Structure formats: structure tokens, C-alpha cells
Structure 1
Amino acid sequence: MKVVMIHTSPVSLNELKALCAEIIPDVELVNIIDDSLLDEVKKNGGLTPAIISRMCQYVQIADKLAPDLIFNQCSSVGEAFDLAKRCTSRMTLKIDEAMAEKAVSLGTKIGVIATVASTMLPSCNLVKTKAETAGKNVEVREYLVDGALDILMKEKNVEKHNQLVLAQIQKAAEENDVVVLAQGSMTSLLPYLDGIAKPVLTSPRLAIERIKQMLEGEIK
């Protein structure tokens, strides 16, 4: 079986590859990376026609590779992927779908933490959509740690990134039933979350576990 992943940066690449090796070791993994997409989203404060067009092209390219599933790695372009996936009949998955569903199952007050502003709206919208599908009323609260992703990716300062984000996680945990980390890049905080009283969800492992279920026909 084959999975094609579309990335907007290499920041989560190694982690996703490691999770695939652990959870779905027999699956062939193909990666498409366009690191200009995220910069364009951030510069424009959201999606542009050009971003949507390129995502459609990448889905079409992925489709030609005859995968069993096409995966979108970046939450910021998740809504562009929703449009682009109409270009294929293959199974598709966004990195944060399984996480959003789990968050809705765990509570009605959901705190969403993002480290780049462009991710906040699509991440919150996804949680609300999953809540509507589940027939559940939820309150979604935003916690933006603006600039933290640049600290991680450009300054390569993991410790500073973690300190900034952890403070918001602690605040969100006090005010909500469950906390959602919108960027997969925040998994570097996992070792520091043991003392948090509320569930704190990250997307990468949940996403790869969902891929396994979809490939095995447990979930469509």
C-alpha cells in the first residue's frame, strides 16, 4: 500500500516518517514538500487562489502516483485541501481530523493553541465541523502564541518555543475540558505535559493511527 503526504514544511517530516515506520511499517511513503505555501498563507493571513490552485495540482500529482490515501500535513492549508481533494477519488485525510474528533468526544469546552495566526481559523473551524457532525454543542476558545513557529523553524530555538507554548497550554487547561495543539510541530512539548490536569492532544500520532484504520478498512 502507498500513502502520499503533502507538506508545507519539512518540520514534521521526520516525525511522521518515524510514526509510519512504527504504526504502518509496510506502507510505502511518498512526500511532496512545498515550503513556500506556508509563507504565502502567513503573508496573506489566509488562503489565496494561488495556494488553492497549487494544492489542487499537488493532489492531482499525488493521484497519478496511484496511492491508497493522500494525506495533508499542514493545518493552515487544510481548507484548501478540502477543495483540492475533489480532484481525486482516493481516500484522503488531514493531519488534524482525528485529533479534532477526539477533542469533541472529550468535552464541550475546547481550547485551541496555535503558533501561527493562519492556522487558528481553519483549526477552530474543523473542531466546530466535527462537533456539528457529532451533534454536539461545543465552545471553542483561541490561544494564539504568535511567532512561536518562527522561533522554532527559523531561530531553531526549541527551548524558547516550548516555554512560550507551555504557558498557554497551562492557561488553556485551566479554562477548558481539553486542549488541542493545532500544529504538529508542538509535539516537542510532549515530555512536559505530564503535570497538565486536562487532556492535551497533538495530531501526528492520532493521524497515523487513523491512516492505519482507513487502510485496513475499519474507517472510510
Structure 2
Amino acid sequence: MTLALLHTSAAHVPVFDALRDADHPGLTLRHLVRAHLLDRARAHGPDAAADGVRAALADAMAAGADAVLCTCSTIGGVAESHAADAGVPVLRVDRPMAAAAVRTGRRVTVVATVASTLEPTTALLKEEAARHTRTVDVTTVLVDGAWERFEAGDQEGYLRRVTDAVDRVEGADAIVLAQGSTAPAAARATTAVPVLASPRTGLRAAADLCQRRRTERGRT
């Protein structure tokens, strides 16, 4: 099975390689890094990245992917909306996490380090709440100064700021880490509130998509 991953940072490549080795050793990953798509989305909104997303999905199909996982929460919705054009299933990495969050409780706090991620993640949570016939109240936290640490290569400083922000959250039933790059903060946080991250659950769901795609092909 082959899964293509659409990234907007090369930092995600070793993360998903490690998760594949641990959980899905038979899965082949094809990494497509398109950093400029996040730049466009941050400057002009997620839809501004649509042309680049479509091109990346075409590259994934040409590479023989059984499915595509978009690891960027800012453009994940754009990627899913073009699945029909791609001809293969497309999943945004944070969808399984969002589904788990709305099952956990009504009050969900989104923690992000890039402002452009807040609206797409909030919309996704409300979509998953409607899908599961639940009500969700979403609050958001933008971690000041964290993204600058990430861009400077200061991973420790980045995660420290995110973890501190998570531990300051009050009145939540679940805390959602909106970006895959913040996932290690889930293990570092000391809060009693469940802290949910997207990489592992997203990869698991994408691997399942690949398996179903292969099974469907075998029937035709």
C-alpha cells in the first residue's frame, strides 16, 4: 500500500516516518513537501492555496498513491474538497482528532501557533459535532511567539510555549492541538484535561483508507 502525504513543512517527514515504522510497517509513504502553500494560505486564506493543492494531489496520483493524507490543518479542508479531482481518497490529518474531541465533551479548546489554522480547525470541530449529532462550544488559543521559534529551528522553545499554553487552559472538556508540529506537547502537558494530537490517529485512518482502496480495486 502507498500513502502520499502532503506537507507544508519538511519537519513532518521524520515524524510520520517514525509513526509508520512503529504502527504500519507495511505502508509505503511518499512525502510531498509544499511549504509555499502554507505561505499563500496565511497571506490570502486557505482557498488561495487551491491550485497548488490540486497540483500536489495530481502528483500523488501519478506516484501511484492509494490515498493522500494532508498533514497541514490550514489547507486540509481545501485538500479534501478536491478529492474527486484527485481520483483517490483524501483525508485531512486532524479529522480523526476532531471526531475524538467532540465525543469527549462539549467544551473544546483549540491551541494553535498560526492564526490561519484557527478558523479551519474550528469549522472542522463543528462539522464533526454535527456529524455525530452533538453540540460543541469551541474556544481558541493562539500561542504568542511560538511560530517564530519553530521557524528559527528552536523546537524546544516552540514546544515549551505550546505546553505552557495548554496547561493554562481552563473550563475545557478536551484540548485540541491544531497542528501536527505541536503534538509532542500532549505528552509534556500536566493538565488533567485530555489533550489530543493529530499525527498518530490521522495516519491510522489514512492507512485504513489505503487498505479499503486496495480491497475495492481487487473487486473490480
TM-score (norm 1): 0.90
1:9-67 deviations in Å (ceiling 9; x for gaps): 112110111101111111111111111111222223x2244x10110111122122222
| Corresponding letter in the other structure for 1:116 | V
State the 1:206 CA deviation: 1.0
Q: How many residues align?
A: 214
Assess if the C-alpha contact under 8 Å between 1:23 and 1:212 holds in 2. no
Structure 1 residue ranges without an equivalent (≥5): none
Corresponding residue for residue 18 of structure 1:
18
Corresponding residue for residue 200 of structure 1:
195
Corresponding residue for residue 185 of structure 1:
181
| Corresponding letter in the other structure for 1:159 | E
State the 1:115 CA deviation: 0.4
How far apart, in 2, do the equivalents of 1:107 and 1:183 lie?
20
C-alpha RMSD over aligned residues: 1.8
Deviation larger for 27-36 or 159-168: 159-168
Corresponding residue for residue 50 of structure 2:
52
Assess if the C-alpha contact under 8 Å between 1:145 and 1:165 holds in 2. yes
Matched, 1:4 2:1: no
Within 5 Å, give how 1:140-179 maps onto structure 2.
140-152=138-150, 154-172=151-169, 174-179=170-175
Corresponding residue for residue 129 of structure 1:
127
1:104-142 deviations in Å (ceiling 9; x for gaps): 111100000010001110011101100011010110111
After TM superposition, the runs of 4+ consecutive aligned structure 1 residues lying more than 6 A away are none
Assess if the C-alpha contact under 8 Å between 2:80 and 2:91 holds in 1. no
| Corresponding letter in the other structure for 1:171 | R
Assess if the C-alpha contact under 8 Å between 1:116 and 1:149 holds in 2. yes
How far apart, in 2, do the equivalents of 1:141 and 1:20 lie?
32
How far apart, in 1, do the equivalents of 2:132 and 2:212 lie?
21
Corresponding residue for residue 96 of structure 1:
94
Corresponding residue for residue 85 of structure 1:
83
Structure 2 residue ranges without an equivalent (≥5): none
State the 1:95 CA deviation: 0.7
How far apart, in 1, do the equivalents of 2:29 and 2:156 lie?
31
Within 5 Å, give how 1:24-43 maps onto structure 2.
24-43=24-43
Kindly, what percent of the aligned residue pairs are identical? 28
Corresponding residue for residue 109 of structure 1:
107
